[in-house]
Chain A
Amino acid sequence: MSKPSMSQSKDTITTLSKKLDAAARDTLAYAKKQSADRAKVSASCSVEKRLVVENKQFTLANTLESQKVGLGVHKDQKKGSASINNSDQAGLHQSVDDALALAKFSVADEFLVMPDAKEAPKAKPLSFMWNDRMSEIGLGDLLEFTQSMLTRLTKDKRVAIDRLEVSTSCMWHGLYNSLGMEQHETQTSLSWSFMGMAVDGSDVSGFDYDGRSVYNWDTALDIALKQCDEFAEKIVKNLRPVKAPTYKGQVLLTPRAVEEILLGTILYHAAGSSVMDGKSQWGDKINSQVISKLINLSDDPHNSRFSGATSFDGDGLPTSARTLVQNGVLMTHLHDCYTAKHCKTKSSATSGGPFALICAPGTGDLKTMINARPEMLVVDRFSGNIDPIKGDFSGVAKSSRYYKNGVDSGGVGETMIAGNLFETLNNVLAVSSVVEDISGSMQMPWMLVDGVSVTGN
Chain B
Amino acid sequence: MSMKDILQHLIQRQPGYLELRWHKRTSNSFLATKGRVDVANHSITEGVGVRALINGAWGFAATSDISEAAIKRAIEQANANATLLAKARGAHAMELRKGKLSTKDFIGEGFAELQGMSIADKLGKVIDLEHQLAKSSSRMHTARARYTEYLEEKAIVTSDGASCSMKIAQPELSLSAIAEKDGQRATGSRGAGVSGGWTCLFKHPTLDHVVDEIARTTVDLLDAKYPEGGRKKVIMAPAVVGLLCHEAIGHTVEADFVKAGSIAAGKIGQMVASPLVTMADSGTENIAGYAVGNLPFDDEGIETENTVIIKDGKLASYLHNRETAAEFNVAPTGNARAWLFSDEPLIRMRNTYIVPGTSKLADMISSLDDGYLIEGAGSGQADSNGEFMFGCSHVWEIKNGKKTRLLREATLSGIAFDVLKTVDAVSSEFQWDLGTGHCGKGQPAKVDAGGPYVRCEINIGGRQS
Residue B391 at the chain A interface, CB threshold 8 Å: yes
Give every chain B residue within 8 A of A227 (Cβ-Cβ): none
A85 at the interface (CB under 8 A from B): yes
Give every chain A residue within 8 A of B194 (Cβ-Cβ).
none
Query: Interface size bucket, A side?
Result: 35 or more
Q: Does B45 contact A (CB under 8 A)?
A: yes
Q: Which of B116-124, B305-313, B367-375 contacts A (4 or more CB under 8 A)?
A: B116-124
Chain A residues within 8 Å of B257, by CB: 162
- Closest CB of chain A to B229's CB: distance in Å? 6
B294 to chain A, nearest CB (A): 26
Q: Which of B12-20, B158-166, B358-366, B381-389 contacts A (4 or more CB under 8 A)?
A: B381-389
Docked CA distance A419–B344 (Å):
41
Point out the residues of chain B lying under 8 angstroms from A55, CB to CB: 256, 259-260
Contact partners of B37 in chain A: CB under 8 A:
78-79, 106-107, 109
B178 within 8 A of A: yes
Query: Which of A147, A165, A248, A394 counts the most chain B CB atoms within 10 A?
Result: A394
- Residues of B within 8 Å of A143, CB to CB, are 84-85, 88
Q: A52: which B residues are within 8 A, CB to CB?
A: 344
Is B415 a contact of A414 with CB atoms below 8 Å? yes
A41 to B50, CA, bound (A): 30
Shortest Cβ distance from residue A449 to the other chain B in the assembled complex, whole angstroms:
15
Q: Which of A104, A204, A389, A392 has the most CB of B within 10 A?
A: A204
Within 8 A of A (CB), among B39-86: 39-47, 57-65, 73-74, 76-77, 80-82, 84-85
How does the 8 Å CB contact mask read for B78-107 relative to A, with 1 for contact and 0 for none?
001110110011001000000000000000
Residues of chain B within 8 A (CB-CB) of A413 are 385, 387
Cβ of A66 and Cβ of B464 under 8 Å apart?
Answer: no
Within 8 Å by CB of B89, from A58, A106, A161, A204, lies A58
- Interface-facing stretch out of A94-102, A317-325, A349-357, A438-446: A94-102
- Contacts A109-B36, A395-B391, A413-B387 known; A1 to B381 CB distance under 8 Å? no
Contacts of B178 in A (CB 8 A): 279, 389
Cβ of A327 under 8 Å from chain B = no
A315 CB to closest chain B CB, in angstroms? 15
User: For the complex, is B33 an interface residue (Cβ under 8 Å from A)?
Assistant: yes
Q: Does B174 contact A (CB under 8 A)?
A: no
Residues of the A chain whose Cβ atoms lie less than 8 Å from the Cβ of B263 = 204
User: Is B84 touching A394 in the complex (CB atoms < 8 A)?
Assistant: no
Chain A 186-225: CB-based contact to B (< 8 A → 1; otherwise 0): 0000000000110100001111000000000000000000
B186 near A390 (CB under 8 angstroms)?
Answer: yes
**Residues of B in contact, count (CB < 8 Å):** 82
Whether, in the assembled complex, A277 has its beta carbon less than 8 Å from a beta carbon of chain B, the answer is: yes
Among residues of B, the one whose C-beta sits closest to the C-beta of A86 is B64
Asked if B262 is an interface residue, CB under 8 A from chain A, the answer is yes
Q: Are A107 and B36 in contact (CB under 8 A)?
A: yes
Instruction: Contact check, B391 vs A455: say whether CB atoms are below 8 A apart.
Output: no
Closest chain B residue, CB of each to CB of A5: B80
In chain B, residues 169-197, which have Cβ atoms closer than 8 Å to a Cβ of chain A?
178, 184-187
A4 touches B81 (CB 8 A): yes
Judge whether B273 is part of the interface by a CB distance below 8 angstroms: no
Would you call B378 an interface residue if the criterion is a C-beta within 8 Å of the partner chain's C-beta atoms?
Answer: yes
A91 engages B384 (CB within 8 Å): no
A8 to B323, CA, bound (A): 33
* Among candidates B41, B60, B119, residue contacting A81 with C-beta atoms closer than 8 Å: B41
B233-265: which have CB < 8 Å to A?
A: 256-257, 259-263
Contact (A414, B61) CB under 8 Å given A102-B40, A162-B260: no
Residues of B close to A387: CB separation below 8 A: 187, 409
Residues of B within 8 A of A396 (CB): 381, 387, 389, 411, 413
A182 to chain B, nearest CB (A): 23
Q: Are A4 and B462 in contact (CB under 8 A)?
A: no
Q: Is the CB of A384 within 8 A of B389?
A: yes
* A85: contacting residue among B58, B64, B73, CB under 8 A: B64
* Contact across chains for A416 and B40 when beta carbons are under 8 A apart: no
Q: Which of B82, B89, B263 has the most chain A CB atoms closer than 10 A to its own CB? A: B89
Q: How far is the CA of A455 from the CA of B45 in the complex (A)?
A: 47
* A residues near B230, Cβ cutoff 8 Å: 455
* B277 within 8 Å of A (CB atoms): no
8 Å CB contact of B41 from A82, A139, A279, A394:
A82
User: What residue in chain A is nearest B35 (Cβ atoms)?
Assistant: A107
- A1-B256 in contact (CB<8A): no
A58 touches B44 (CB 8 A): no
User: When the two chains form their complex, are residues A277 and B464 in contact, meaning their CB atoms are under 8 A apart?
Assistant: no
Residue among B119, B257, B383 having the largest count of chain A Cβ atoms under 10 Å: B383
Cβ of A384: which chain B residues have Cβ within 8 Å of it? 381, 389, 391, 411, 461
Q: Please report the C-alpha to C-alpha distance between residue A82 and residue B43 in the assembled complex, in whole angstroms.
A: 5
Q: Which of A85, A248, A395 contacts B465 (CB 8 A)?
A: A248
Contact among A103, A104, A247, A453 for B462, CB-based, below 8 A: A453
Q: Which residue of A lies closest to B144 (CB)?
A: A277
Instruction: Name the B residues within 8 Å of A107 (CB-CB).
Output: 32, 35-37, 127
- Cα distance A207–B141 when bound, in Å? 39
Q: Is the CB of A394 within 8 A of B391?
A: yes
Q: Flag whether A15 is at the interface (Cβ < 8 A).
A: no
Q: Are A91 and B44 in contact (CB under 8 A)?
A: yes
A54 contacts the other chain (Cβ, under 8 Å)? yes
B110 at interface by CB-CB < 8 Å? no
B313-344 residues with Cβ-Cβ distance < 8 A to A are: 342, 344
Residues of chain B within 8 A (CB-CB) of A383 are 381, 383, 389
Which residues does chain A contribute within 8 Å of B81, judged by CB atoms?
A: 4, 61-63, 139
Give the residues in chain B near A390, CB-CB below 8 Å: 184-187
A58 CA to B92 CA, complexed, in Å:
11
Q: List 10 A-B contacts (CB under 8 A).
A: A61-B81, A63-B81, A64-B342, A65-B64, A86-B46, A105-B40, A162-B256, A162-B384, A277-B34, A385-B378
Given A398-B383, A418-B229, 9 more A-B residue pairs with CB atoms under 8 Å apart are: A4-B81, A58-B89, A64-B342, A66-B342, A85-B45, A99-B42, A103-B40, A390-B185, A390-B187
Q: Which 3 A-B pairs have the closest CB atoms?
A: A385-B391, A162-B260, A61-B81
